[in-house]
A and B are shown apart, each in its own frame.
Chain A
Amino acid sequence: GAVVSQHPSWVICKSGTSVKIECRSLDFQATTMFWYRQFPKQSLMLMATSNEGSKATYEQGVEKDKFLINHASLTLSTLTVTSAHPEDSSFYICSAPGRGQETQYFGPGTRLLVL
């Protein structure tokens, strides 16, 4: 089946620094990718929709200047957490719709810890 990878799998950074997370579709192209955030013992919440060749669409309450999304190619989307703070510590997961569009394929997630 389709595979989505994320890098890094985990990252620890100091408060105030920026962190970039990559999401790649390994064996298929994705004009759209989705970024979710999952806090401990909570569900996944959609942050934004990444669109190849155009601006990302952010969900209400998500700061676009803080969470920069770039869909550089048909197989790569990046999420940059700028000026990270401890409250940004979370599990970030990306997904991409498969060929049939009904099924989403999820990356393994990136665990971010901001000290």
Chain B
Amino acid sequence: AQSVTQLDSHVSVSEGTPVLLRCNYSSSYSPSLFWYVQHPNKGLQLLLKYTSAATLVKGINGFEAEFKKSETSFHLTKPSAHMSDAAEYFCVVSDRGTGRRALTFGSGTRLQVQP
């Protein structure tokens, strides 16, 4: 079975400061890991994905995440927050080894960016 734990339900940062959204996963097989962002009243947008290539993954809008197998973590970071980054962020896992392509979502982290 696969699962995802997002350690913070809410994160607040000041504009221009770094962002860290934490995610730990559990997977029976080699996982694919994703970060999606959901802005209010909008659909989910893929930020980045890890699928067994480079462990440091760069995504859109300056976000990146590092896959650490020893820590079973896939934390999302950004060097400098922008007001437009305020949204809900989901860490997501897909177990490729099971052949099941449905995604398991974490509980979400709401990022608030203060001016």
Contacts and interface: CB of A to CB of B under 8 A. Distances in A.
Interface string A96-115: 01000111101111000000
Interface in B57-94: 90, 94
Given A46-B104, A49-B102, A107 B49 contact: no
**Chain B: interface residue count, which band?**
20 to 34
A62 interface: no
Given A49-B102, A95-B103, A106 B94 contact: no
B96 to A, nearest CB: 8
Contacts, number: 43
Contact of A102 (B43, B94, B107): B94
Nearest to B110: A41
Given A102-B49, A109-B43, A44 B105 contact: yes
Contacts of B46: 103
Given A43-B108, A44-B90, A103-B49, A108 B43 contact: yes
Nearest to A96: B101
A34 B103 contact: yes
Interface residues of A, number: 20
A23 B88 CA distance: 23
A102 B104 contact: no
A104 B102 CA distance: 9
Contacts of A95: 103
Contacts of B42: 108
Contacts of A108: 42-43
Given A93-B43, A106-B44, A43 B90 contact: yes
Nearest to B45: A106
Contact of B106 (A43, A97, A104): A43
Contact of A46 (B36, B51, B102, B108): B102
B103 A46 contact: yes
Contacts of A32: 101
8 contacts: A36-B105, A43-B105, A44-B103, A49-B102, A95-B103, A102-B49, A103-B49, A106-B44
Interface of B: 32, 34, 36, 42-44, 46, 49, 51, 90, 94, 96, 101-108
